[in-house]
A = this chain, B = another copy of it.
């Protein structure tokens, strides 16, 4: 699946030319044969996206309950088979995730390092724009970076990757190109990741939810500048 394709445009002077555009596809998730939802995705990591969607919505609470995920792009279908054959459970209330236990302090140098390495990973955005990126990083490295047309998809694919790799969130940082809203705070809390960094801004509800769940929000992070909007006392000026 090529994430971008060339399209013809006419510019302000009437000149025709080809420019890259992000190419998204519908992908319908079926669980034990029942249609659940249709996502629009550029489809780089479809299995991880499907798993992360099920995890982040709370529809399936343990990876061990899933027998298989099969993606068929010709039919635009992702078939999920559960071990019970009973389909999905009720979703979480995303407005009240559990707080993160014992979130560690965050050195300023980690923020600077994460921001500095993003340009090595957001190839689709730099070519075609119109996508959001979400990354999972440690203090040393970017473990995974996913770009998709929706920031929810990119975040969910990270969640699916964590599930598959049994990765704990406590010592990690979530990076997002999107605004820090209640949805991303809720997802970070669910994934157990105590820090979210964004080049973008925040909303006040996101700050309130971040304080109650122990998620440190680092917004407007560009170059060496940033602003910490919640859990300020965990910032270490190393």
A residues whose Cβ falls under 8 Å from a Cβ of B: 5, 7-14, 16, 19, 21-26, 40, 95, 108, 111, 128-130, 149, 179-182, 200-205, 207, 220, 224-229, 232, 235, 237
Going nearest first, the 6 A-B pairs with the smallest beta carbon separation are: A129-B201, A130-B201, A9-B227, A10-B232, A23-B204, A10-B228
Task: Name the one of B25, B26, B95, B229 contacting A9, with C-beta atoms under 8 angstroms.
Answer: B229
Question: What is the copy number of this chain in the assembly?
Answer: 2
In the complex, the chain B residue whose C-beta lies closest to that of A129 is B201
Once the chains are docked, how many angstroms separate the CA of A200 from the CA of B224?
26
Complex contact B108–A12 (CB within 8 A): yes
Residues of B within 8 A of A40 (CB): 181-182, 203, 205
By a CB distance below 8 angstroms, the chain B residues around A203 are 21-24, 40, 130, 149
> Residue of B at shortest CB range from A223?
B12
Whether B21 contacts A227 by the Cβ 8 Å rule is no
Are A200 and B129 touching (Cβ within 8 A)? yes
Complexed CA–CA distance, A183 and B40 (Å): 10
Q: A40-B182, A207-B21 are in contact. Are A11 and B200 (CB under 8 A)?
A: no
A200 to B25, alpha carbons, bound, how many Å?
A: 20
Report the minimum CB–CB distance from A233 to chain B (whole Å): 9
A sample of 18 more A-B contacts (CB under 8 A), given A40-B205, A149-B179, is A5-B204, A7-B202, A7-B204, A7-B207, A10-B228, A12-B111, A12-B224, A12-B226, A12-B227, A13-B237, A14-B235, A23-B204, A24-B203, A40-B181, A40-B182, A129-B220, A130-B200, A130-B203
Q: Quick check: A202 and B10 within 8 Å, CB to CB?
A: no
